[in-house]
Amino acid sequence: HGTSKVNDKGHLEIGGVDTVEMISEFGTPVYVYDVALIRERARGFRKTFEKLGVNSQVAYASKAFSTIAMIQLAEQEGLSLDVVSGGELYTALCAKFPVKRIHFHGNNKSREELLMALEYEIGCIVVDNFYELNLLDELCKEKQAKMDILLRVTPGIEAHTHDYILTGQEDSKFGFDLQNGQADTAVKKALDSENLNLLGIHCHIGSQIFETTGFILAARKIFAKLHEWSNTYRFASEVLNLGGGFGIRYTEEDAPIPAAQYVEEIILEVKEQAQAFNMKVPEIWIEPGRSLVGDAGTTLYQIGSRKEVPNVRNYLAVDGGMSDNIRPALYEAKYEAILANRPLDQVEETVSIAGKCCESGDMLIWDLPLPKAGQNDILAVFCTGAYGYSMANNYNRIPRPPVVFVEDGQAQLVVRRETFDDIVHLDVPLMEQIKK
């Protein structure tokens, strides 16, 4: 997919760059991003909105993969940006991302984070709960600032996905409940505030979703409420943000509909609802993370040790694991992989790919069909672009891999590899007095 292909040397090539040659420069493990594919995905979303003539913002959910270079790329492609912490906001500011196109999310933003958002005058804050609504109101008053906000509501939709990444159902830590009056109270409070400008409503129903039904149902539930609020509070929502969550294909088992189709169906539904209630079509905002960067990322590993458990299973270990990709351990996420140095060789066995962390659960892929592979082989694991680097960690004090962008035959290092010095960088040795 994307610009990936097998080149004349019989190696996996991405973005016109030979992956085998690349690792002699960057080492392994390494995350490689197909920049052209990210651009294509971004343009796909934007074009669909343009085609259907709806005002929109496509905000990249930077939690999926936040680095300065990625945020610059998002800016080049005319995306807006969703940040969920001071750290993600700081990254966006370092990338000089236009502040008005930054949206700030999170269920427990701190006073400092909110002040940072006010100080840099970002586009809007997506308010999650009453505590935050009050705190933000207070801070705005103190700073004599006015802030555009969206209210995040929980529409009570259960999207079919892994329990941990499901967020739109009633029993969730996120948002104002739409059914039990919380959302009504929040809208009233926001409208009554002199410091807050209620732009509209936000919801996010989950992640890695394969069908549009959930989005459509959420839009309907919200519209019923918008209609009510336009009568009771004379509130006309300028914006309807339906979140992210568009699924991608990790393995053959996954059958997501094309991203453009999600958007098209959502737009048509919103238009229909607006017409039915005789309301203006609001701006539609979405927040894709995974579907913009997920399949653009590939992780390259060096294969190392092998363990055979006779009549049971063969294990092949790589030089990374749950420290660079925690998704298999956390969500039982599935991936596909090939040998980057000889992708066309005959499959000879089924092996399970183990990581190098001291934990039995550190298995990247179970039962992968591969040629008989060993120490001279490079394993390419596909679709690691979302929530790979961003959830990477230093478990076992393993340095995090570098990130390389490839496009048009050029490779650019955008995050360097961590060193052992980086690993101990924050450590403070014992003071003299308590040394034994």
> Which CB, 277 or 331, lies closer to ligand LLP?
331
> Which CB, 208 or 302, lies closer to ligand LLP?
208
Is there a binding annotation on residue 31? no
What is the smallest separation between the CB atom of 84 and ligand LLP, expressed in angstroms? 7
Determine the Cα–Cα distance for residues 429 and 338; give it in Å rounded to an integer: 44
| Nearest partner of 262 among 226, 295, 221, 292, judged by Cα | 292
> Which CB, 287 or 324, lies closer to ligand LLP?
287
Determine the Cα–Cα distance for residues 272 and 114; give it in Å rounded to an integer: 36
Counting contacts by CB under 6 A, is residue 64 touching ligand LLP? yes
What is the smallest separation between the CB atom of 281 and ligand LLP, expressed in angstroms? 22
> Which CB, 210 or 301, lies closer to ligand LLP?
210
Tokens of 29: 């493990």
From the list 137-145, 213-221, 242-250, 335-343, the region that binds ligand LLP by CB under 6 A is: 242-250
> Which CB, 303 or 329, lies closer to ligand LLP?
329
User: For residue 119, what are the contacts with CB-CB under 8 A and spacing of at least 6?
Assistant: none
Task: List, in sequence order, every beta strand (DSSP E) within 62-154.
Answer: 80-83, 102-104, 124-127, 147-154
Determine the Cα–Cα distance for residues 354 and 138; give it in Å rounded to an integer: 51
User: Is the link from the previous residue into 343 a cis peptide, with omega within 30 of 0?
Assistant: no
Determine the Cα–Cα distance for residues 184 and 267; give it in Å rounded to an integer: 25
Determine the Cα–Cα distance for residues 354 and 146; give it in Å rounded to an integer: 52
Of 22, 54, 61, 102, the one binding ligand LLP by CB under 6 A: 61
Q: Which residues of 173-188 are buried (b: 16+ CB within 10 A; e: fewer)?
A: ebbbbbeeebbbebbe
Counting contacts by CB under 6 A, is residue 109 touching ligand LLP? no
What is the smallest separation between the CB atom of 434 and ligand LLP, expressed in angstroms? 39
C-alpha distances out from residue 11 to 8, 72, 96, Å: 7, 30, 37
Residue showing tokens 């039990």: 180
Is there a binding annotation on residue 170? no
Residue showing tokens 């997501």: 256
Is there a binding annotation on residue 327? yes
The two beta strands, 147-154 and 176-177, are parallel
Q: Which residues are catalytic?
A: 358
Is there a binding annotation on residue 290? yes
Question: Residue 266 in contact with residue 309, Cβ under 8 Å?
Answer: no
> Which CB, 235 or 250, lies closer to ligand LLP?
250
Determine the Cα–Cα distance for residues 255 and 221; give it in Å rounded to an integer: 26
What is the smallest separation between the CB atom of 125 and ligand LLP, expressed in angstroms? 13
Counting contacts by CB under 6 A, is residue 204 touching ligand LLP? yes
Residue showing tokens 């936000």: 202
Site string (20-49) toward ligand LLP, x via CB under 6 A: ------------------------------
Is there a binding annotation on residue 245? yes
Counting contacts by CB under 6 A, is residue 245 touching ligand LLP? yes
**Alpha-carbon radius of gyration of the chain:** 23
Site string (273-312) toward ligand LLP, x via CB under 6 A: --------------xxxxx---------------------
> Which CB, 39 or 162, lies closer to ligand LLP?
162
Q: Which residues of 417-434 are buried (b: 16+ CB within 10 A; e: fewer)?
A: bbeeeeeeeeeeeeeeee
Question: Residue 221 in contact with residue 157, Cβ under 8 Å?
Answer: yes
Under rule CB under 6 A, how many of the chain's residues touch ligand LLP? 22
Residues from 149 through 168 that contact ligand LLP (CB under 6 A):
165, 167
From the list 110-118, 187-195, 215-223, 239-247, the region that binds ligand LLP by CB under 6 A is: 239-247
From the list 226-234, 244-252, 260-268, 425-433, the region that binds ligand LLP by CB under 6 A is: 244-252
What is the smallest separation between the CB atom of 241 and ligand LLP, expressed in angstroms? 8
Determine the Cα–Cα distance for residues 337 and 14; give it in Å rounded to an integer: 14
From the list 204-212, 265-273, 365-373, 407-415, the region that binds ligand LLP by CB under 6 A is: 204-212
Counting contacts by CB under 6 A, is residue 243 touching ligand LLP? yes
What is the smallest separation between the CB atom of 3 and ligand LLP, expressed in angstroms? 22
What is the smallest separation between the CB atom of 149 and ligand LLP, expressed in angstroms? 14
Name the 3-class secondary structure at 299: strand
The type of residue at 113 is E
Binding residues for substrate: 290, 327, 331, 359, 387
Residues that bind ligand LLP (CB under 6 A): 61, 64, 82, 105, 165, 167, 204, 207-208, 243-246, 287-291, 327, 331, 386-387
